[in-house]
Amino acid sequence: MSENLASHLSAKSLLENPVLNKGLAFSKAERDAFGLHALLPPAVRTLEEQLKTARMLFDAMESPFARHIYLRSIQDSNETLFYALIASDLETMLPLIYTPTVGEACQRFSTIWQRPRGLFLSYEDRENMEARLAHTAFDDVRVIVVSDGERILGLGDQGAGGMGIPIGKLSLYTACAGIAPQHTLPILLDTGTDNEARLADPSYIGSRHKRIRGAEYDAFIEQFVECVMKRWPHVLLQWEDFAGVNAARLLARYRDQLCTFNDDIQGTASVAAGAILAANQASGKKLSDQKIVMLGAGSAGVGIARLLLAAMEDEGTPHEEARQRFYMLDKDGLLTAQRMETLDEGQKLFARDDWSDAKGDLATLIEKIDAAILIGVSGVAGVFSEEIIRNMARKTERPIIFPLSNPTSHAEATPEDIMRWTDGKALVSTGSPFPPLPHKGATRRVDQTNNSYIFPGMGLGIIACRAMRVTEAMFMAAAKKLAALSPLHQDPDGNLLPPVTQLRDVARDIAIATALQARADGVCAGFSDDALDGMIDQHIWSPQYKSFNKARS
């Protein structure tokens, strides 16, 4: 496919544009047309040849962090090569461009930052925010991921280093769903940091002051949303890694004003619900037949519980009866009616009024009830003890146990321990990748309840149908579609989730389910079923070089 470039585009600006740059893959004719001779060595390489060289250098790297830096350097110079390399081995690359390696990248972001990517919008520069968003390079942005860096995975406040999260998330939009990189924009809202180590670090690249709080913070966020809505009326805005005190309330404030969602709350809930629905279907029981214990009562935990509650209601279970199937704990123990004054609205929904035991800790709870499902979003490593897991396994034939905290070092238990303590009976999925485990004389991969199963496909569906809002029903539709794609349907002894090597196919299926639900919810223009495949496909970009011709002046 040939494409004309504007005649004013210089040789150096072409080479410095990561979306357009092809490096040694520029042909002799292109080098003639754009004056690239001498700026490039004489050799001409195909994309396949570049891939072989890049993979050779990648394999020579000794640590995941070194590989992350190498991949980011490719991304900043040649996005086609970057995504072709990711696509060639998604299973290996996914943990390097996102969790768990992205956690270390955020912690060390100031020392590895080299080239501009995305926008840093600081509180001090707030008067110029609209101008900062106005650059023509951002005219065709369709997806924005924004963070303020306050709650990066389980690592806490990383300030400006939190930019690694929007960059990583948007890489997955492209790698998993094919959304073209030029349509994506990572943004870091720099409102300061309370991380003393970052403030004391001479290399720190962010604003050197404590975090802005209260009314000033809210006004800054309001200004940002208003500028985004004005600049990109149809953009999809994803909130990422905001502190729990802000995440839910910002979502509640803006969800009806523009097309937006919070991946930590809704994306996590959707993928967890999809995996749990798949696991529960394998047991042959209704979800509402099960008792669910949730360790972690923050925005992620409440989001998962809300979506599972809705799934029970979809089964026909009355709301109050479904609500009684949940036992939610935070650092102070079980959420109960006696603690109402200290709970937020989401937590109050799951507070119990029937718990008389003085101790509401996890071990006591598992001892007293027949819990079939245990979900961890606590960020506390090893809190799912051997005693707790064995207790569950004694009462439940196939306990469903999901230690979902990120990164790997914060997981509530390792899959290896869980399977050993349950004699291999548990259905396990984690938040970060773990190595395969021995299983019946072979090895089997460990399922990862990774949001990349959900948000890239949802984004693709939302863009394709031009949805004006993101509804809870769209997340439920995505969860149900993911459950329907479970390998357990073909093999009762199989995995809960498809392999990550199939994420492109999964994303397309999720996109279709999302668009259909958006139509049913009345948040997009009408379209025919026959037109949907074409609508989806025209928004899928593939990492292949185009042939460029100099435009006539």
Per-residue model confidence as pLDDT tens digits over 474-519: 999 999 999 999 999 888 888 999 999 999 999 999 999 999 999 9
Please report, as a single letter, which amino acid is at residue 117.
Answer: R
pLDDT of 6 strictly over 70: no
Q: Which one-letter DSSP state was computed for residue 37?
A: B
Residues facing residue 403 across a β-bridge: 376
Residue in 169, 204, 481, 545 annotated catalytic: 169
Domains of the chain: 2-45 (1.20.1370.30), 48-258 (3.40.50.10380), 266-453 (3.40.50.720)
Segment 233-244 mean pLDDT = 96
**pLDDT value of position 253:** 97
Task: Give me the percent of the chain exceeding a pLDDT of 70.
Answer: 97
Sheet containing strand 427-430, strands side by side: 333-334, 326-330, 292-295, 373-376, 400-403, 427-430, 447-448
Segment 338-354 mean pLDDT = 91
Residues facing residue 444 across a β-bridge: 437
Residues facing residue 402 across a β-bridge: 375
**What does the block give as tokens for 141?**
């942005």
461, 510 contact by CB (below 8 A) = yes
Q: Which one-letter DSSP state was computed for residue 383?
A: -
pLDDT of 98 strictly over 70: yes
Residues facing residue 472 across a β-bridge: none
- Cα-based torsion angle of the residue sequence 88, 90, 94, 95 in order, rounded to the nearest 10 degrees: -100
> What is the rounded CA–CA span in Å between residue 547 and residue 545?
7
Pairing of strands 333-334, 427-430: unpaired
pLDDT of 550 strictly over 90: no
Segment 30-52 mean pLDDT = 96
Residue in 98, 123, 453, 545 annotated catalytic: 98
259, 270 contact by CB (below 8 A) = no
User: Please, is 45 exposed, middle or buried when counting C-beta atoms within 10 Å of its C-beta (0-12, 13-18, 19+)?
Assistant: middle
169 catalytic per annotation: yes
Nearest to 404 by CA among 434, 444, 436, 365: 434
**pLDDT value of position 4:** 61
Residue with the larger pLDDT of the pair 283 and 437: 437
The pLDDT confidence band at residue 1, using thresholds 50, 70 and 90, is very low
**pLDDT value of position 39:** 96
70 catalytic per annotation: no
The kind and range of the H/E element at 420 are: helix 415-421
The pLDDT confidence band at residue 7, using thresholds 50, 70 and 90, is very low
Average model confidence (pLDDT) for the chain?
94
495, 484 contact by CB (below 8 A) = no
pLDDT of 54 strictly over 70: yes
